Amino acid sequence: MTKHIAQLLLIIVLCLAFVSTGPSLRAGRSLHRAVSSPQDQSTRLGQLVEANIIATHAYQVLLAKKSGHGDPACYSAGGLSDADLEALVAHQSRLLASDLAAINAWTKGRKSSFDPSRDVDPILAAPLKISEHAPVNVFTEYLRQHTGAPREQIRAIANLYQTVLEVERDGDLLQDEFRFYIALGLPVYVGQLKLDGSDSAFLAAGRELEARTCPSPFETTATAWQIAGRKIWNWGEKNLHLRDENVLARELLQEPDVKALVPEIRAMPAQKIAIIGHSFTMGLHWSSPSSFVPIVTAIFKMENPRVEFRQFSAGGLTASRAYRNFFKEALDWKPDKVLLVVMERTDEDYEALRQFGENFRRADAKVYTFDNVHDPEGANPAAIRRSMDVARASGMTIIEVDKLISSAPDRDKFVSLDGIHMTEPYHRLMAKEWLKFLVGAREAKLAAE
């Protein structure tokens, strides 16, 4: 009997132990699956960054093969076919287009619909080695030497530099990478790592990087590295909304000459204003936090949203291409006013400029253009005079800014590092002058002169 009692007591103790410890053990396992450690999260972030780096390099290997430029040792396909390399590029496209909230949850070990086996694992498994002299690895080492940032942070910024050096994909792939890394909480420009953001600092870094970098299918000179640094810094601040059109709009609204216009801005009746223009009108460009068109648009959104703005824009936009691509769409929008900022290079362009003026006028839209926006690529006095003659003859109103730009105290800072596009001081001046014109302040001034 005593033996049976002892066995029964042992069974009871074991049962109680299971009841008391079982749920907590099961909860512990569930918690481990649900929430990853910082080390696990870092590893997953690192996998995502490396996948982007490898796929970007795959594209650049293809670029080297097609162009015939680049060190074969740096841009070796490693036995992969062109189709294999293109497949890696396609995986990256799908990865960057994935649900960022789901990816973010996956990096933290939370329940997520994101499946890394679809697009991350195939890239990471590719036998594609990247030389230590390739730009992405050279810049990684530079940041490792100059910052104490974690590796995945350094590699994320290095990937952005790797992409921007190509130049051709900075309007699509690069911007997708910015969105991707920002959503994951990774830094996207060196200012977040406490490095200097001056042009001179970028050039000094460029000289150091040029010496280490292998020949590539794109420029890797000290100047190219300098411009890459400025691009990533400006786009980083813009994408993080530290300096964009809204920030500049709020700053301008605090300046006395713009603040004085607020009553006139608020009093303007509802109307539609179309802008058809080249890169000087586009907020996406790297040379400034934004251009004068989005800045003025932001001011009206804050002070008088009844005035609508719509942009029809493209880089290097000539009058003839603008007419073919945007005229009908802009006309169908039925604007009250149209601002043209396009280039005239051929007789076809001058004819298109004439058609813009005459056809919008028939639609009861007022058309405006600037006398000279100081486009460095179009600094031909005879061509500018011809453009103004055609504009006037077709019924356009000329907004005079040439003298103001030429005499501005900081005009030497207007042209960006590439010698083509314009910096923030230029766009602040243009925003003020166009804003004054829209509210009628400049008309009164011109009439009094």
- Residue 188: exposure state from Cβ atoms within 10 A (0-12, 13-18, ≥19): buried
pLDDT attached to residue 446: 41
Quick check: 107 and 138 in contact, CB under 8 A?
A: no
With tokens 């994408």, the residue in question is: 239
pLDDT attached to residue 61: 98
Assigned superfamily of 245-448 = SGNH hydrolase (3.40.50.1110)
- Residue 20: exposure state from Cβ atoms within 10 A (0-12, 13-18, ≥19): exposed
- Residue 412: exposure state from Cβ atoms within 10 A (0-12, 13-18, ≥19): exposed
- Residue 317: exposure state from Cβ atoms within 10 A (0-12, 13-18, ≥19): buried
- Residue 117: exposure state from Cβ atoms within 10 A (0-12, 13-18, ≥19): exposed
pTM assigned to the model: 0.84
Q: Which residues pair with 309 in a beta bridge?
A: 273
Report the residue count for the chain: 449
Q: What is the enclosing helix (H) or strand (E) of 370?
A: strand 366-370
pLDDT attached to residue 24: 31
With tokens 């061509």, the residue in question is: 383
Q: Based on C-alpha coordinates, what's the Rg of the chain?
A: 29
Q: In what order do the strands lie in the sheet with 397-399?
A: 307-313, 271-277, 337-341, 366-370, 397-399
What tokens were used for 25? 């053990």
Which amino acid is residue 230, in one-letter code? R
Quick check: 223 and 206 in contact, CB under 8 A?
A: yes
Give me the architecture of the 38-239 domain, per CATH.
Up-down Bundle (1.20)
pLDDT attached to residue 443: 57
> Taking the domains of the chain in order of start, what are their residue ranges?
38-239, 245-448
Could you give the CA distance from residue 139 to residue 159 in angstroms, rounded to a whole number?
A: 9
pLDDT attached to residue 10: 44
Could you give the CA distance from residue 430 to residue 295 in angstroms, rounded to a whole number?
A: 10
How many CA atoms are closer than 13 Å to the CA of 388, on its beta-carbon side?
Answer: 15
pLDDT attached to residue 321: 96
pLDDT attached to residue 378: 62
Quick check: 292 and 281 in contact, CB under 8 A?
A: yes
Tens digit of pLDDT for each residue in 114-141? 999 999 999 999 999 999 999 999 999 9
Quick check: 158 and 136 in contact, CB under 8 A?
A: yes
Could you give the CA distance from residue 349 to residue 221 in angstroms, rounded to a whole number?
A: 36
Helix axes 199-212, 222-239, angle to 10 degrees: 130
Nearest to 153 by CA among 305, 48, 242: 48
Counting as low any pLDDT under 70, the low residues of the chain are: 1-41, 377-379, 443-449
